[in-house]
Amino acid sequence: MTGHFQQAIANHQKMIDELFAEEAKKKKDDADKASRKAESQRLTVRFMEDLIDSQIKIGQLKSSTVEIVLTHWNKLFGLEETQAYYVSIVVKLLTHDFYGVESASNWHI
């Protein structure tokens, strides 16, 4: 009888160990998935920034491109960050050497 009891305990311990191993694997898989998602988002953001910058540089930025980028930006970061990024695009356009606003005023306060 003692042998059956010890075997039952061993079987239960094995089941518990398997459950813990499955849970640890699931947590690791979830962490890996989150890491891959974060890396993908980082690369997407970098691509969007590079796209906008390169199109500004060559004077080919279109409103449709800005609209698409800002829509995606809003999904990732929310309204406040999107507005800040929009302002940075406007500043880049206004300060562009050839397409921006030029001020030749010598007026000083």
pLDDT band at 28 (very low <50, low <70, confident <90, very high): confident
User: From CA 45, how far away is CA 53, in angstroms rounded?
Assistant: 12
Report the pLDDT value the prediction gives residue 12, as an integer from 0 to 100: 82
- Whole-angstrom distance, CA of residue 99 vs CA of residue 103: 13
The pLDDT assigned to 8 comes to: 78
How many angstroms separate the CA atoms of 2 and 66, rounded?
75
Mean pLDDT of the chain: 85
**Which residue do the tokens 């079987």 mark?**
11
